[in-house]
Amino acid sequence: MKTWVASVALACLALAAVPAVAGTVYNDGPINGTTDAWTINFGFAVADTFTVSAGTSTITGLSFGAWLVTGDVLLSAQVALTSEAFGGTSYFNQVVSFTQSGCSLNQYGFDVCTETGAFQGPTLPVGTYWLNLQNAVTLGNNPIYWDENSGVGCTSPGCPSEATCNSCIVPGHHPPPQNLPPESFTLYGNSGGTVPEPGSIALFGSGVLGIIGWLRRHPI
């Protein structure tokens, strides 16, 4: 009996300690792969807006569509989350490693692939921000391009994104004077309300202890 009670208690406490599973914070639609794409290395950069809508969210990962020279592989790219395109307040700015998957050849002779990277990003309140991609590095040191999907199939509040490139910017103009169609990407993370507050965990623990006490008084 004691062993059974202890097992129940440990199982319940383990469930209480499980962290929130990362979900989708913002989705701007799936890869198109057949229309166009924009360079994110060799000095070129592209920025798209994203909206945090489900309460304060911690960004923990990114996937996006990329066009590469056939057989090439993306190694890393500089990822920045900012209040303005290529500027403003910087909430995150790091080189992120990516894993490549799901590649297929398009009609222009490029490999179109899904690029996925994980990182410890910022915690952002509800609002609209910019995702900036630049300084990408490939195994073959070739150009790499961010897939344009025009936001078709996007599922998040605030979509489709606004988008621009650094070559579009004229000095002294804010916001950038020329826009692009948006690109394919998904931001992952933990949204507000998914992680139990310390008080909730304490209440859960007291409930477990209550169950154990009842079982001791009413053996099965």
Kindly list the distances between the CA atom of residue 189 and the CA atoms of 6, 25, 134, 150, in Å, as whole numbers in the listed order: 34, 6, 21, 23
pLDDT score of 100 more than 70: yes
Overall average pLDDT of the 95-103 stretch: 98
Interstrand relation of 74-84 and 87-97 (parallel, antiparallel or unpaired): antiparallel
Q: Record the pTM.
A: 0.77
Categorize the per-residue pLDDT at 22 as very low, low, confident or very high, splitting at 50, 70 and 90: confident
Summarised one tens digit per residue, pLDDT across range 195-217 is 443 343 333 344 434 444 434 44
Categorize the per-residue pLDDT at 38 as very low, low, confident or very high, splitting at 50, 70 and 90: very high
Tell me what pLDDT residue 109 has: 98
Phi, psi values for residue 128, rounded to 5°: -115, 135
Q: What token pair was written down for 148?
A: 């344009």
Chain mean pLDDT for the chain: 82
Categorize the per-residue pLDDT at 191 as very low, low, confident or very high, splitting at 50, 70 and 90: confident
Tell me which fold the domain 21-194 belongs to: Jelly Rolls (2.60.120)
